[in-house]
Structure 1
Amino acid sequence: MQRTASAGPGRLECDGYRLEASVTDDEAVSLVRAVVERRYRVVTPLKDSRHCWAARVAIGGRDLVLKVPRARNRRAWERFLTLFRPGESIRQHRSIATLDHLGARGPEPILGAERREAGRVVDGFFLYGYVAGRQATSRDTRAVAEALLELHGHGYLRGDPQAQNFIIDEGQARFIDFKMQRPRFLTRIRLLMEYSKFLESMPFGYRYLDQATRDSRAFRLANALQAGLSCTRRLRKAAKRKLTGWRKG
């Protein structure tokens, strides 16, 4: 095991993988080797699709979630982009670590790992602490709205703010399945657009915005833009389903 000379704090190299970790070097190396050698116990499978594999796993007394972003590791375009930026696994770890740094309620950041060939990421995975609780429902609107607004107060988007992407633990909302982003342009509009998207799954969240925001032209514009994006996505999905049906037929 060695720490990369130019990577900076929290980055390591181990068995062909480049790591960014929020735990000690020794624990990071131990966890990566356990994953690579499949020395872990699957407690609960969470997802198994062409896009992603995820499971709650036990490794050395740790209760963790292991995720492998299959599609992003395989797509030619995604691989090309990793010539200029970290792969999905390390970017996901950075999001979790940033949320933790802000003091928001989310999973414990553990590590992200990626393996490169010819400068491109071809394999990777990330680990974070398992979040106990239950999936948010409409009766948890206030807790979710407050958590999202707190994050927006720091200037960050969480990405895909649907009710199903929050866990309720001891009456408070905790973030799961997110990729944080700090917009550099049109920050207020983009934050309000994300809140508008959240309202698609939890419409009563409207009442937790302050009156000035609700009455603002910026919020009306954000609602209109988000409605347009949502409509475009639905049309694209419908067209894709129809095209798939024609091909099968």
Structure 2
Amino acid sequence: MKTKKNNDITIYYKDEKYLKILDNLEKLKIEKVFKDDNRSKVSLFTFEGEKLVFKVPREKNSRKWQRFLSIFRGAESYREFIQAEKIHKAGLLTYKPILAFEKRKYGFVVDSYFICGYLSGETGSIKHLKVIKNELDKIHRSGYLHGDSQLVNFIIDNKHVYIIDSKFSKNKYGKFGARYEYIYLEESCPGDIDYEKNDIYYRGAKGLNNFLHWWGRVRKKLKGK
């Protein structure tokens, strides 16, 4: 990763040729919008014959707590760049990180976006459950956790499985961490997954999962009041 700074703006990038995107940012021809809501905007464009994805994390750019945390950990877009590099270094597949932009004011990140390579495969679904489970096994054998192991956070293209929207990190929790990710994957699909469900690690992970669901419902009720 290379870095370029100019006053309150920092740009992280892989190849200098992609810096030309910034010169014509307002003139980008958007070919398709994948998502456009209060949380984020994700769209497709082409640069020098290469299809790229433009991602703006609107919610995380604007939320006060996220802005406070950005003093220490940088923008969401910067972290996404780092995550993609970590996945590649672990010998696994994800999109190619192209460029991350962050703008700070008084030390807080107030704007950011991320540009990455486009993956043309299918979004993970129940029909891909076996290959996704195998990929999750591979992630765990490599000593890592996906961090958000839902079916839709994998892309399948010609039998290759790509990891997306992850919080990829070293597995500090061993079998407990792996069991929790299987539970999370299982909750995102209407089928059962074949993994160990009779040991202490599974019971602990299941207990934590149940607690987090309960706490989520309590928080929702409190916010409603």
What is the TM-score of this pair, normalised by structure 2?
Answer: 0.88
Q: 1:205–1:42: structure 2 CA closer, same or farther, 3 Å change rule?
A: farther
Aligned-residue Cα RMSD (Å) equals 2.3
Q: Secondary structure at the match of 1:42?
A: coil
Following the alignment from structure 2 to structure 1, what is the Cα–Cα distance between the partners of residues 217 and 73? 30
Matching of residue 84 in structure 1 with residue 44 in structure 2: no
Q: 1:68–1:155: structure 2 CA closer, same or farther, 3 Å change rule?
A: same
Map 1:16-165; keep pairs closer than 5 Å. 16-21=8-13, 23-24=14-15, 26-34=16-24, 37-165=25-153
Q: Structure 1: which 4+ aligned runs deviate by more than 3 Å? A: 202-205, 234-240
Among 170, 177, 182, the residue aligned to 1:190:
177
Q: 1:192–1:114: structure 2 CA closer, same or farther, 3 Å change rule?
A: same
Q: 1:95–1:30: structure 2 CA closer, same or farther, 3 Å change rule?
A: same
Among 194, 209, 227, the residue aligned to 2:210:
227
Q: Cα offset for 1:153?
A: 2.1
Question: Counterpart in 2 of 1:6?
Answer: none
Following the alignment from structure 2 to structure 1, what is the Cα–Cα distance between the partners of residues 53 and 192? 29
Report the residue type matching 1:188 in the other structure. K
Following the alignment from structure 1 to structure 2, what is the Cα–Cα distance between the partners of residues 88 and 135? 22
Following the alignment from structure 1 to structure 2, what is the Cα–Cα distance between the partners of residues 135 and 61? 23
Q: Cα offset for 1:46?
A: 0.9
Following the alignment from structure 2 to structure 1, what is the Cα–Cα distance between the partners of residues 189 and 208? 18
Q: Cα offset for 1:14?
A: 5.2
Q: Cα offset for 1:204?
A: 4.3
How many residues align? The count is 225
**Structure 2 gap ranges (5+):** none
Q: 1:200–1:227: structure 2 CA closer, same or farther, 3 Å change rule?
A: same
Following the alignment from structure 2 to structure 1, what is the Cα–Cα distance between the partners of residues 162 and 209? 24
Q: Cα offset for 1:91?
A: 0.4
Q: Secondary structure at the match of 1:100?
A: helix
What is the TM-score of this pair, normalised by structure 1?
Answer: 0.81
Q: Cα offset for 1:236?
A: 4.0
**Structure 1 gap ranges (5+):** 1-8
Following the alignment from structure 2 to structure 1, what is the Cα–Cα distance between the partners of residues 192 and 27? 43
Following the alignment from structure 2 to structure 1, what is the Cα–Cα distance between the partners of residues 56 and 179? 31
